[in-house]
Each structure stands twice: as structure tokens, then as C-alpha cells.
Structure 1
Amino acid sequence: MTKLIINADDFGYSKGVNLGIIEAYQNGIVTSATLMTNMPGARHAAALALQNPNLGVGIHLVLDCGRPVNENVPSLINEKGDFHRANALIEVAELVDIEKEYTSQIEKFLSFGLSPTHLDSHHHLHGHEKIFPIVSKLARKYHLPVRKVSADLQHSSNIELSTVQHFIPDFYGDSLTAEHLLELIDQSLSYESAELMCHPAYIDEPLLTGSSYALQRVRELAILTDNNVRSAVAEKGVELVTYKEAFNQSFV
């Protein structure tokens, strides 16, 4: 039976995002979330996580949204103190600053009293060739799995780190349907472990004005909590789990 993690990204972005994720967990098929410790809704998300201890919560490492946690990472920020956008960031970010900021984000997560289940990142930057060696180092330091970054079995992430066999990033966009979600889940059935990424949310002002992917999240939430979807997933024989259960490990 496939162990399937359904992970909601951007936990901590805002209260609307946080409450949507909790709804998708309590009344839907979401099993896991990853928390942005640098965003305004981080403490609210952490409080909700503590109230819902069976929700797997990992760390959504951030370099290109909001502001840094560490106060001394000058190569990562613009004149306003905000992170550079992703394309500019890759060009100007110094590796020492990336490691400092990622470490600060992990330590801030731990300060909330939570035990992280895994690491992933905003806009998948943890898989970039410049950034991945830092993430790999931190994953080993904190004994954490990471979101899959390569289908190449010889990639170091698949040799040195714990990661699922299959990652599904395609539940995303302007024309999502329940049928599409179920088709994506079918892709996982030939693997022992898989992760499907999603972004459910309720709309609030910070999300509406801050993200280009806002209204679509309400549609995601509706699909992920649809009773017919829940029944169909149960009939497929997948086991909905968190990273903790998928790897049968005790984390930090």
C-alpha cells in the first residue's frame, strides 16, 4: 500500500491560509503542512499545530517572500529589508547568508515547541544547485527528511537523505477539479511512498494583496474537503500519512 503524504505549503503565511490548512486537515485529506517561520502568521500557525498534534508539520524554508528571521544576512535583502525575488536572489545571495538564514528559520520553528517532520521550501528553491548543498547539510544536522528534488536515483538527495519515492507538484493552477486530483493520486499507486503538494486557504487581505496565487486556493480547499474525494481516496487503498509515519522515525 502506498504511503501518501498530502502536504499543504505556506502554513504561517497569514491567518486565512492557516485556517484553510487546518480545515483541509480536520475535514479533508491533508495530512501535513510546512510552516514559513518568517511570515506574520507563523505564531498563529504554530499555535494551531500544537492544538492539532496529529498534523505533521515541517519547515517551509523561505528566501524569496517576506523578510528574513536573521538580522544579519545583507546579501539576501533589498533596500527595504525584504527578500530579493527568486531570480535576483540566486545571483546575489552569498552561501554563508543562506545557511545563516535557513538555520535561523529552523531554530525559530523549534522555539515554538514543535518537532519538525521534514524540510521543503518556497518555490522549491531547496533543489537549486547553489542552495541544495546547504539544505542537505542542515537536513543531516537536524536529522530531517526533505521534499524530493530529483527523479535521478543517482542524485545525492536520493542517496544521502530521506525522501519519498515520488513527488507530485501538479495540483496547482486555475482550472483544478476533483477528477484531476484523483488522477494525480493514481500516479502514486506504483510507489511505496509519495507526496502531493497543495495550497488550501481561506482568502484574507494579506493573501489577496501579497500572493499571485490566492483565489485558486479556495478551490483547492473545496476539492480537498469534498466528501466524494475523501471516499474515492479511501477506496484507492492509499495510506494517508505524514513524513514521520512514512519514515518511521523520531525527529528533533
Structure 2
Amino acid sequence: MSNARNKHLIINCDDFGQSAPMNAAIMHLLEEKRVSSATIMAPAPGFEEAAAWCKRRGQTNVGLHLTLTSEFDAVRWSSLTGDPSLHDESGHMHKTVEQFERHADSAAVVKELLAQREKTLNAGISLSHADNHMGSLYGTATGRTHIPQALRLCSKWKLPFRLFRKVHPSDPLLAGIPGVEGIVAKASSLAGVMGVAIPDYLLSHSFHVEEGESYDRFKAMMVAKLYDLPEGISETYIHPAIEDARLSAEVPHWEKRVWEYRLMLDDDFAYALRDAGVNLTNYDYVRKHGKRSRAGSVIALARALMSK
């Protein structure tokens, strides 16, 4: 067993409140302490069920999943504020990140994020952190980012936020983004300037079922990540769900969500966590250890802005 006890991992369940099958899986994993946390979607149709459960249990490791898109025909939702720029022709939030980036008014985005936090707090949830559904705030589709606005709000709310300081070279998604190192340097430095705590790494995996992928192959890939985990604070995110006949038929790659739920309950995965010397932690640890000095962050941001 590795002696490296400075490898900390957050496993966050995204999309809490999206639907009843996702709620069931996430509640179970939180109850069994198989994951670190979850982030809840205030505009989604399963929000009330998820929020009532959190309030009843006094759940302290639930964050806010800032939601500006609604991607599945089978499960759609509208914004809380009703601003036309946040909706497509159906009256629901935009299906894709690109549509959101092209059409959303920035002032309307901020107003919506404020409304989502207010709804969650009014439901009796004490928020632990914030992140973003589908990465719509990051500017990955057109370059139109809302990260400065999100960080300003998180600074005001005193909440850690899902960003990262470094890109792990083996990450299959993030490492392939052109210019990602420079983008990360600017965003993480801005977080430091604003006093927002963030993790060191974000570890991703494909949302879709890859060609030839099976549960066993998926498990082997996720276990390998544990042994390759960098030192510092890493976060990975999953979208667990239980089997559901309707959504399995109507939501693309629903099977992958069921695999993620199964994996968190798999004894092999639990053993690998221990054997790899990984500390399963949460955003309370990020809040305490994930900040950088403002002065140093100002210097780092200036360098990042001046670099090509």
C-alpha cells in the first residue's frame, strides 16, 4: 500500500434533483458515505424531493449545481427567472452550451444564479460549494465565459467553486483542449484574487458509453485513475442513477449513469481507494486548504494575461 497520504479525492455526484432515478441513487450513495458530496439543480423537476431529503437529514455536503442548460428531451426545465435569453423556442433552457453562450444575456445569467441559490437556501439546504452543469459558464464552446461572474458570486457567498489549477496529462478530455494550460492559469489565478477556494485537479471521463466499453472496462479505467492520482486535492464527478425503463429508452447513455452508481458500491473500487493511499475528502477540506494568497494570485494573473 502506498504511503502517500497527501492524495485527496472528492467524488461529487452531479445532477442531484434532475429526476427521481438519479435522486434515489445519489441519496443511497450519500447515506452509505460512498461519495464525498452532491450538487443540486434548483430548476430541475426532482429538486423538491432532493431538497426535502437534504433538509430532513441535515445534509451538510450538498452544493449548488449552477444550471443554465437543459439537454434531454425526456427531462427538461425552464429558468427560475424566466428571462427569454435563457430559453430556446420551447420555453426551456438551451439544450447545448453553445446555444447558451450565444444567446444568454450576462445580467440575466447573474440574476438566474442568484435565484437558484436563494431557492436552495429557502429549501433549508446549507450549501458546501458550487459547480456548473455541463460547464456552460466556462466559455468552452465560443469563448464567451461567465467564470468572472461565477467567481464573484462565490466570493460573496464564501463558497468553494469547481475549478482547477493544473491539468493532469493523462486526463482524456481536459488535456486535449487547445490552450487549456493558459485558460486554467487565468481562471485559477482569478479565483485566488477573489479569495475563492478551488481544487488542484479535475479528473474527467467520458459522459458517453465509448465504443466497446463495458462495465468491467469502465471500472478498470476508474480504478487505474486512483493509482495515478496526483498529489494535492483532486475532484472527479459522476452522474449516478438507478435503472429506469423509461429514461433508459429516452436518455442517451443512461447505462453509463447506472454503471457509475454500481461502481461506487463496488467493493473493488473501495479497496482500490484504500490500497492507492487516497483520502476520500469533501469541499470542507477545499474550503480550508484550497485558497492561495491574493498577492501571489495577482502576480500569477498578470503573468497569465501577458503570456501568449
Helix, strand or coil: the match of 2:48?
helix
Specify whether residues 173 and 3 from structure 1 end up closer, same or farther in structure 2 by C-alpha distance, changes over 3 A only. same
Task: Tell me, yes or no, if the aligned pair for 2:164 and 2:200 is still in contact at 8 Å.
Answer: no
Task: Tell me, yes or no, if the aligned pair for 1:171 and 1:197 is still in contact at 8 Å.
Answer: no
- Which of the numbers 73, 84, 103 marks the counterpart of 2:94? 84
**Largest Rg, 1 or 2:** 2
- Counterpart of 2:281 in structure 1: which amino acid? V
Matched, 1:116 2:127: yes
Matched, 1:36 2:46: no
* % identical equivalent positions: 27
Specify whether residues 192 and 10 from structure 1 end up closer, same or farther in structure 2 by C-alpha distance, changes over 3 A only. same
Helix, strand or coil: the match of 1:64?
coil
* Greater relative contact order structure (CA < 8 Å, 6+ sep): 1
Helix, strand or coil: the match of 1:164?
coil
The residue aligned with 1:18 is: 23
Helix, strand or coil: the match of 1:195?
strand
Query: 1:39-89: CA deviations, max 9, x gaps?
Result: 010111112223444561111111111210113x11111233211222222
Compare 202-211 and 53-62 and name the one that shifted more: 202-211
The residue aligned with 1:154 is: 185
Task: Tell me, yes or no, if the aligned pair for 1:25 and 1:55 is still in contact at 8 Å.
Answer: no
Specify whether residues 3 and 36 from structure 1 end up closer, same or farther in structure 2 by C-alpha distance, changes over 3 A only. same
Specify whether residues 171 and 196 from structure 1 end up closer, same or farther in structure 2 by C-alpha distance, changes over 3 A only. farther
Helix, strand or coil: the match of 1:13?
coil
- Counterpart of 1:241 in structure 2: which amino acid? T
Task: Tell me, yes or no, if the aligned pair for 2:165 and 2:185 is still in contact at 8 Å.
Answer: no
Helix, strand or coil: the match of 1:155?
helix
TM-score, normalising length: structure 1: 0.89
Matched, 1:248 2:291: no
Matched, 1:229 2:266: no
Task: Tell me, yes or no, if the aligned pair for 1:38 and 1:105 is still in contact at 8 Å.
Answer: yes
- Counterpart of 1:213 in structure 2: which amino acid? H
Task: Tell me, yes or no, if the aligned pair for 2:21 and 2:244 is still in contact at 8 Å.
Answer: yes
Helix, strand or coil: the match of 2:253?
coil
Query: 1:84-120: CA deviations, max 9, x gaps?
Result: 2222221111101111111111111111111111111
**Structure 1 portions without partners, runs of 5+:** none
Query: 1:146-190: CA deviations, max 9, x gaps?
Result: 1115634632334332110011111643235222111122332x3
Helix, strand or coil: the match of 2:38?
strand
Map 1:100-249 to 2 at 5 A.
100-128=111-139, 129-148=144-163, 151=166, 152=181, 154-158=185-189, 159-160=192-193, 161-170=196-205, 172-174=207-209, 175=213, 176=215, 177-188=218-229, 190-204=230-244, 207-208=247-248, 211-248=251-288
Compare 208-217 and 82-91 and name the one that shifted more: 208-217
**Structure 2 portions without partners, runs of 5+:** 1-5, 71-76, 167-180, 290-308
CA drift at 1:242: 1.3
Task: Tell me, yes or no, if the aligned pair for 1:57 and 1:118 is still in contact at 8 Å.
Answer: yes
- Counterpart of 1:23 in structure 2: which amino acid? H
Compare 8-17 and 149-158 and name the one that shifted more: 149-158
Residues in 2 aligned to 1:218 and 1:79: alpha-carbon distance in whole angstroms: 31
Helix, strand or coil: the match of 1:68?
coil
Task: Tell me, yes or no, if the aligned pair for 1:64 and 1:85 is still in contact at 8 Å.
Answer: yes
Task: Tell me, yes or no, if the aligned pair for 1:11 and 1:36 is still in contact at 8 Å.
Answer: yes
Q: CA RMSD in A?
A: 2.2
Matched, 1:74 2:109: no
